[in-house]
Structure 1
């Protein structure tokens, strides 16, 4: 009989080094799994590279591990990593062929792995950060909902007419691309981006695809195009800012099960009656986000807002059509 029970660590804040992050099984501290898979670390020489965690502390990719029982590691994490490694080895077409739910699980595992590291550290009063995630009920509510759908990694699960996230796949032009690997995430807005060679993936993790629809036209003009890295940075700024002003939290509900069921079916609800889906767009706030993403090109906010009605864009021309860029020229 298929075990369809979900693990719920948030009620008792059961985040320790002796409970499997995915199923809650009691383990020893030696039972660990890498947050960033070993194949990633080997391919991009990441093991000793510094990594800034969500709480702004610094570790390395090789040191970042999470408590994980042998069963979950062997039966759920390793097969997922094998699928993803194979997909990325075939370029963007290979990644497009990967089921979106699997890509969500892969990204979600890395995001949640860094979050679990934060929550375990907060359990130690000697290293309690200034702004503790565990003391923010709204954020914990978001993480609880997210972990429910992330357990599709372990428990057979069908999402009824939705995917919990928005996924964007971008192909990078190699001409002026000097970074084979890039990674960025944001705790409170649940945004994540990762670039492996010529493929960049941007994901807003808990929006039920709403941001994907909101950015649908922009995303559409990028498809079939090889983007200059500065264009990828702008797309990331737009997605991350959309997540920043996203104002609702989806709720998920498990349909009642029967004894012979082999999977859970989840429905979702978003309160768009008493709440606006998005807070108002503020041009200055967006410009600040874009400035952060454009740091490698030293483009400042005053240049971005030189024309306040139409902020600087490397993706779109004045008629909102795609703007091809092969060689970057800094705007004067």
Structure 2
């Protein structure tokens, strides 16, 4: 029988009566999974901590849930056990996880946030007596994210290259560290905890890895200070904003599996894939990522030709010794 991918964006079905991943009707409202893994919420005491939504309202980590059929929930549980085992062990084990496993784990969280944001938006629109106004570009991104997440339950092969990249870094974090960031408009995600951190770009066909190859080459095989990882993270989040393509993918469904092929990012306009890097704007992003250390925008871009960096020394070598102001 031919595999069929479920598309909730066709009729904007985001209620709690069907499984979010497959569209299968649910028997009970109790059929649900947490967006953020239970083990992670308990390890870092996140369950009742506030989670800020796009409309500036607050939910809590444990209130973010996804309606999910029992058989699909079992698949997510298997995935979670594998990732939890690696993350409990630390960087050495996390770095051994394959890209698809890491993608599925990240994508469930990111899409889970998207799902809850859409539900909140639908409720607000209903109360205001208005129709839901949604960007078609975002619909395309979220539709692709949802389709690729179905690789958990549908055999799927990504042809030529993965649409996503998840990079894992060793970081000398304090034991209690938990730093989570996402940007659903640009589909970028980062998390920093234990002795590692990761950055995921979920629909860029790997171009961020090329764009930041100099920084990645410097950081390769090095254990990063948290301020160094946050600098790399700031670069990624800013370049995700500069990324000016809307990636497209073809899905070919055959009886055995679904083949996913990325369309070329180069188009007839010959416009660069990334917009112009602006030092001041990057400085503002970095200021936000460096908040724990208190650096101001003025300090960061005092020399606009050479913004402040803790990644390299004056000769461009990796900075092994970090001296931070008291």
Given the two structures, how large is their TM-score scaled by the length of structure 2?
0.92
SS in 1 for 2:62: coil
Deviates more, 1:139-148 or 1:192-201: 139-148
1:241 matched residue in structure 2: 238
Q: Is the 8 A contact 1:172 1:227 kept in 2?
A: yes
2:4 matched residue in structure 1: 5
1:125 matched residue in structure 2: 124
1:283 matched residue in structure 2: 279
Q: Is the 8 A contact 1:104 1:165 kept in 2?
A: yes
SS in 2 for 1:317: coil
Q: 2:253, 2:208 → 1: CA distance? A: 30
Pairing 1:149–2:143 present: no
Q: Is the 8 A contact 2:247 2:263 kept in 1?
A: yes
Q: 2:241, 2:90 → 1: CA distance? A: 30
SS in 1 for 2:63: coil
Offset at residue 267 of structure 1 (A): 0.9
Q: 1:54, 1:84 → 2: CA distance? A: 28
2:259 is aligned, of 262, 265, 289, to: 265
Q: 1:283, 1:211 → 2: CA distance? A: 18
Q: Is the 8 A contact 1:249 1:270 kept in 2?
A: no
Offset at residue 17 of structure 1 (A): 1.6
1:47 matched residue in structure 2: 47
2:214 is aligned, of 174, 195, 217, to: 217
Residue pairs, 1:31-42, within 5 angstroms:
31-42=31-42
Offset at residue 37 of structure 1 (A): 1.0
Pairing 1:91–2:85 present: no
SS in 2 for 1:12: coil
Q: 1:326, 1:106 → 2: CA distance? A: 33
| Counterparts in 2 of 1:41 and 1:26: CA distance versus 1, 3 Å | same
Pairing 1:300–2:296 present: yes
Q: 1:133, 1:294 → 2: CA distance? A: 36
Q: Is the 8 A contact 1:233 1:294 kept in 2?
A: yes
Deviates more, 1:78-87 or 1:221-230: 221-230
Offset at residue 289 of structure 1 (A): 0.6
Offset at residue 215 of structure 1 (A): 1.1
SS in 2 for 1:118: helix
Offset at residue 36 of structure 1 (A): 0.8
| CA RMSD in angstroms, aligned pairs only | 2.0
Q: 2:203, 2:125 → 1: CA distance? A: 32
Deviates more, 1:11-20 or 1:232-241: 11-20
Residue pairs, 1:53-92, within 5 angstroms:
53-74=53-74, 76-92=75-91
Q: 1:158, 1:36 → 2: CA distance? A: 26
Q: Is the 8 A contact 2:172 2:196 kept in 1?
A: no
Q: 2:151, 2:56 → 1: CA distance? A: 29
Q: Is the 8 A contact 2:103 2:164 kept in 1?
A: yes
Q: Is the 8 A contact 1:121 1:128 kept in 2?
A: no
| Counterparts in 2 of 1:107 and 1:156: CA distance versus 1, 3 Å | same
Q: 2:229, 2:176 → 1: CA distance? A: 12
Q: Is the 8 A contact 1:231 1:314 kept in 2?
A: yes
| Counterparts in 2 of 1:56 and 1:219: CA distance versus 1, 3 Å | farther
Give the gaps of 5 or more residues in structure 1. none
Give the gaps of 5 or more residues in structure 2. none
Residue pairs, 1:19-38, within 5 angstroms:
19-27=18-26, 28-38=28-38
| Counterparts in 2 of 1:256 and 1:205: CA distance versus 1, 3 Å | closer
Q: Is the 8 A contact 2:137 2:246 kept in 1?
A: no
